Amino acid sequence: MSPPETVIRVEHLRKVYRHTVAVEDISFEVGRREIFGVLGSNGAGKTTTVECVEGLRRADGGSISVLGLDPQRQANALRGRIGSQLQESRLPDHLKVWEALELFAGLAPHALDWRELLVAWGLAEKRSASFASLSGGQRQRLFIALALVSDPEIVVLDEMTTGLDPAARRVAWDLIEELRDRGTTVVLVTHFMDEAERLCDRVAVVERGRIVALGPPVALIDEHAPDVRVVFTAGDLDVGWLRGLDHVRAVTRAGARVTVHGDGPVLSLVAAALVARGFVPRDLRVERPSLEDVFLGLTGHHVEE
């Protein structure tokens, strides 16, 4: 997929803290209205990368352009055009939810109506609660709302759903998609593979300060974890002939349970072939590889929870 208009361009980014190389060499582009995922384990360099994009850190090497501007030297022109939901960043304990939103809305050149954000992000009941009294999930949602209140063209969400319960995560995902549909570009830093797979148009897998894979989740899965398994119960039926089908690599059997290993459209081919022979299994299902498998294949380890 070639993005329509590049809004973020990072070329050979390098960032060193004292003696630790946080970012070795990272290059990527993000197109307008894209949801771009940055995936990786803790310490891989994800947060450092996006903090350089946000202008919070100065790169030691390479170049960054955000909306055609240098986030360090032309920060003023970016005011209000990029929103950041920072990781591990508090607000004053005694600050109330509505005061925080009103303050940051007031500091932006063309802000949204913060009352609508309050409702959309499920904070209406917590309107007058102090920051200190909020739960982890509520704080997280407030931070996202604060990132959005300036009506930015680009929003950077760093570990957006950490601390959210499953229901709240789903709501957050819907809201992010809605946001993109309204024209916002989203950079999503996450270590949740399901989140990246569900939301992102493209993801960059970051490992030890480098991008080890970049592309749409489906393409990454096809390329790096192509193994698709089709599973069904066959009873005593002989299904050895399935091995002769295209896209089938192996057929294994455990009792009545048959597993067909293959790739690409193997599910459709197996299903069609079974039906053609008059066998209609009731429990035919596919086990698709996920980004998790891609990550494991590329890095040799699981992303930690």
Partner 1 sequence: MERKLHPVRALTAVLRLTWVELKLFLREPTTAVFVFAFPLVLLFVMGEIFGTVEGSDISFRGFDAMDYYVPAYFGLVAASIGVIMLPAHLTGYRQGGVLRRFRAALVPMWTVLGAQVAAALVLAALGALLVWLFGWLVYGVDRPADALGVAVAFIVTTVCFAAIGALMGALLPAPRAAQGAGLMLFFVMLFVSGTGPPVEVMSDLMVTIGEWLPLEHAVVALQDPWLGYGWNGSELLILAVVALAASWGALRAYRWK
**Most distant pair of Cα atoms in the chain: their distance:** 72
Nearer to partner 1, 131 or 295 (CB): 131
Exactly one of 89, 233, 252, 268 binds partner 1 (CB under 8 A); that residue is: 89
Exactly one of 76, 166, 182, 305 binds partner 1 (CB under 8 A); that residue is: 76
**Minimum distance between the CB of residue 156 and partner 1, rounded to whole angstroms?**
9
Choose one: 77-85, 179-187, 199-207, 227-235; the region binding partner 1 (CB under 8 A).
77-85
Q: Is the dihedral of CA 185, 187, 193, 195 positive or negative?
A: negative
Q: Is the dihedral of CA 162, 172, 103, 105 positive or negative?
A: positive
In the window 92-111, what residues touch partner 1 (CB under 8 A)?
Answer: 92, 94-95, 99, 103-104, 106-109
**Minimum distance between the CB of residue 66 and partner 1, rounded to whole angstroms?**
12
Choose one: 83-91, 179-187, 240-248, 261-269; the region binding partner 1 (CB under 8 A).
83-91
What is the residue-wise DSSP string for 144-163? HHHHHTT--SEEEEESTTTT
Nearer to partner 1, 60 or 263 (CB): 60
Residue 90 binds to partner 1 (criterion: CB under 8 A): yes
- In angstroms, the CA 142 to CA 125 distance is 12
Residue among 39, 81, 52 at smallest CA distance from 184:
81
Residue 56 binds to partner 1 (criterion: CB under 8 A): yes
How is residue 131 annotated by DSSP?
A: G
**Minimum distance between the CB of residue 110 and partner 1, rounded to whole angstroms?**
12
Angle formed by the axes of helices 136-148 and 97-107, nearest 10°: 20
Per the CB < 8 A criterion, the answer to whether 263 and 289 are in contact is no
Helices first, then strands: H and E counts in the chain: 10, 13
In the window 284-303, what residues touch partner 1 (CB under 8 A)?
Answer: none
Nearer to partner 1, 111 or 260 (CB): 111
Residue 88 binds to partner 1 (criterion: CB under 8 A): yes
Residue 150 binds to partner 1 (criterion: CB under 8 A): yes
Size of the site for partner 1 (CB under 8 A): 29
- In angstroms, the CA 161 to CA 172 distance is 7
Coil, strand or helix: which one is 63? strand
Nearer to partner 1, 140 or 299 (CB): 140
Residue 80 binds to partner 1 (criterion: CB under 8 A): yes
Neighbouring C-alpha atoms within 13 Å toward the C-beta of 114: 23
CA 242 to chain centre: 37
**Minimum distance between the CB of residue 54 and partner 1, rounded to whole angstroms?**
6
Which tokens is 301 given? 């380890």
Choose one: 81-89, 118-126, 228-236, 266-274; the region binding partner 1 (CB under 8 A).
81-89
Residue 43 binds to partner 1 (criterion: CB under 8 A): no
Report the relative pairing of strands 154-158 and 185-190 from DSSP bridges.
parallel
Q: Looking up tokens 């989140």, which residue turns up?
A: 195
Residue 74 binds to partner 1 (criterion: CB under 8 A): yes
Exactly one of 18, 19, 20, 73 binds partner 1 (CB under 8 A); that residue is: 73
E strands in 18-161? 20-31, 35-39, 61-66, 82-85, 154-158
List residues near partner 1 by CB under 8 A: 54-56, 72-76, 78-80, 84, 86, 88-92, 94-95, 99, 103-104, 106-109, 146, 150
